[in-house]
Amino acid sequence: MNYKNGRDVLPPSLLQELQKYIQGDLIYIPKPADKRASWGEVSGTRRMLAERNKEIVQYYVSGVTISELEQKYHLSNESIRKIIVKTR
């Protein structure tokens, strides 16, 4: 998020209207809902976790035990089970 001066980016009439409500403070103007990225999309975390979860299921289907998967991925037994049920 970058700071921008209202004088530099807003038409004078809109700046004057905003000054009726707030002056000298920072205000966050969110993106429209249809322009927002979902959690982890920008950083790639969502894709990375999906790939990891797919890998966990493939290991499980090939015979690797949940205990072994816990050790390999440093996740709890419950987390491994949820991934297997949700991804299968």
In a domain, 39, yes or no: yes
In a domain, 23, yes or no: yes
Q: What is the pTM of this model?
A: 0.61
In a domain, 38, yes or no: yes
pLDDT confidence bin for 3, thresholds 50/70/90: confident
How many other C-beta atoms can be found within 10 angstroms of the C-beta atom of residue 56? 21
pLDDT 10s digits, 26-64: 998 888 888 878 888 889 999 999 999 999 999 999 999
Number of domains in the chain: 1
In a domain, 26, yes or no: yes
Return the closest-CA partner of residue 52 out of 27, 74, 22, 28. 74
In a domain, 67, yes or no: yes
In a domain, 1, yes or no: no
Expressed as residue numbers, the domain containing 66 is 6-87
